[in-house]
Amino acid sequence: MASIKKYATKDGKEFWRVQVFAGNDPQTGHKKYKVRRGFKTKREATVAAARLELAISNGDLEEEKPTPVFFRDVYEEWYGNYINTVRESTWARTAGMFDNHILPAFGDKRIATITTKDVQKAVKQWFEFTSANYKRWYNYVSSVMDYAVRQGYMDKNPAKAVVLPHHDDLAGDEPENFWTKEQMNHFFSCIDQAAHFDIFVMFRVLAYTGVRRGELLALTWNDVSFKDNSVKVNKTLTQGDKGRQIVQAPKTRAGRRTIPVDNQTIAYLKRWRRIQQKSFLRLGINTIGPDQLLFTNTKNGYQSLNTPSKRLHKIQDDNDLTPRITIHGFRHSFISNLLIAGVPVTSVQKLVGHTDPTITLGVYAHVSAKQESEATAALAKYMQN
C-alpha cells in the first residue's frame, strides 16, 4: 500500500510525497521503496501512487539509470583501495601525480567515453614534457581503467592499445655520477673540519657506508655500535602526506642491514657525538638519549631531505669540483670503489641492501683506467705466448 504524505521545503512551500513498497533487495534482503515527490495536490500524488503500484506489479517499472561516472570518481574509489597496498610515502607521491598531471587530462571526462585516442594524446603531451615520468603516469591511468572495467563502469580498458613513445639515447658519454678514490679524497680536503665538522662527518658516513639519503638522516646513536664498529640501518626518513617528513621501515627486507665501519670513521663519529652533546647542552637540550639523531637541524629535529644536496652543491660550486655528482652519487661511488677493490659482488649487495646482485652490478658502470690498461696488456701478453 502506498504512503502519501505532505512535506515542506526550506523556503516554506508545501508538496506531496509518495512512497510505494517495491519488494525486497535480493542482495541484502532489506525492503525496497520507490519514492516520488513534488506533487502540488494530494489528488496528483494519489494518481501517481496508483500508477507506480501498477508498474511495480507488472514488472515494467523502468529502473533509475545510474549517474554517469567520471574518471575523477573512479580514481577516488581506486585510490581508497590503493593506499592500503603501499607505504605512505608512495601513496602521497601518487596523489601528487594525479593532481598535477592525470586529473587535469581526464578528471572531468566520463570514463566510459574515454578512447584510446584520448589516452594516446595525453601520453604524447606528457612525453614532450618529461623524459621518464610519462610512463608512470600512463601506468596509473591504465590501473584506474582496469579497476573501472572490474567494477562495470566501462567495457574495456582503452589504455591497453596505446603505443608508448620513447626517447632516443643522446650521443656522447653520459655524465658520471661517481667519484674515484682520488676525487673523493679531494672532496673531503675541501671541507674545513674545524668550522664544519658536522658536514664533514655527514659526507664521511655517506661515502664509507653507502647509505641512502633518507637512511642517513634517520640514523640515531642507538644505531651506531662503537663496540662492534658498525652502523645498523632499520629505517628511513621520507616525505608523507602533504609533504610532511615521516620515518618508515626500509622498503625491502634486504634494506635492514648492519654495515661494518672502518676505525677512522668510528673515531670521527665519537668526536662528533661529543661536539653535538656540548653544542646542544648550551641551548638546554639533552642529547644523551639513545634515540638522539646523528644529524639534526638547529632545533634538534630531522634535517630537511634537501639539506645534504644543498651542502654538496655549495662545496662543489666553491671548489669547482668535477665531475659533479649527486648525493646518490656517494652510494654509486661506494659500490663502484668496493668492486674495483675486489670485494665480491654478493658482499657489496648485502652492504647496500639490494635484493638482487644484478642491481648492484647495474650501478657499477665504472672501471678504473688502471684496470682497463692492465686488462688489455694482459690480453696482448697472452696473444704473444
Residue 271 has pLDDT above 50, yes or no: yes
Which of these three, 328, 362, 380, is where a domain ends? Answer: 328
Residue 381 has pLDDT above 80, yes or no: no
Chain segment 123-151, per-residue pLDDT in tens: 999 999 888 899 999 999 999 999 999 99
> What is the reported pLDDT for 27?
64
Residues 216 and 320 in one domain: yes
208: left (phi over 0), alpha (psi -120 to 50) or beta: alpha
Residues 306 and 225 in one domain: yes
Residues 235 and 141 in one domain: no
Residue 170 lies in a domain: no
Residues 78 and 189 in one domain: no
Residues 190 and 321 in one domain: yes
Residue 172 lies in a domain: no
Residue 362 lies in a domain: no
Cell of 217: 638522516
Which of 102-106, 325-329, 334-338, 367-371 has the weakest average pLDDT?
Answer: 367-371
Res. 54 pLDDT band, cuts 50 70 90: confident
Residue 295 lies in a domain: yes
Residues 75 and 54 in one domain: no
> What is the reported pLDDT for 377?
74
- Considering its fold, how many domains does the chain have in total? 3
Residue 151 lies in a domain: yes
Tell me the CATH number at 81: 1.10.150.130
> What is the reported pLDDT for 274?
96
Which of 10-14, 66-70, 162-166 has the weakest average pLDDT?
Answer: 66-70
Residues 254 and 303 in one domain: yes
Cα(219)–Cα(12) distance, integer angstroms: 66
How far is CA 225 from each of CA 65, 203, 218, 258, 275, rounded to the nearest angstrom? 67, 19, 16, 10, 18
Residue 68 has pLDDT above 60, yes or no: no
Residues 98 and 229 in one domain: no
Using a pLDDT cut of 70, give the percent of the chain over it.
92
Residues 76 and 47 in one domain: no
Residues 203 and 154 in one domain: no
Res. 264 pLDDT band, cuts 50 70 90: very high
* Complete DSSP assignment for 74-87: HHHHHHHHHTTTS-
Q: What radius of gyration do the chain's Cα atoms show?
A: 32
Chain segment 206-258, per-residue pLDDT in tens: 999 999 999 999 999 999 999 999 999 999 999 998 889 999 999 888 999 99
More confident residue, 368 or 241: 241
- Average pLDDT of the chain? 89
Residue 347 lies in a domain: no
> What is the reported pLDDT for 57?
83
Residue 174 lies in a domain: no
> What is the reported pLDDT for 383?
73
- Domain extent, residue 54, equals 3-58
Chain segment 19-39, per-residue pLDDT in tens: 988 888 776 778 888 888 888
Contact status, residue 259 vs residue 231, Cβ threshold 8 Å: yes
Residues 215 and 290 in one domain: yes
Res. 65 pLDDT band, cuts 50 70 90: very low
Residue 175 lies in a domain: no
How far is CA 142 from each of CA 18, 71, 147, 159, rounded to the nearest angstrom? 44, 12, 9, 6
Residue 90 has pLDDT above 50, yes or no: yes
Which of these three, 20, 36, 58, is where a domain ends? Answer: 58
Residues 15 and 152 in one domain: no
Which of these three, 12, 33, 58, is where a domain ends? Answer: 58
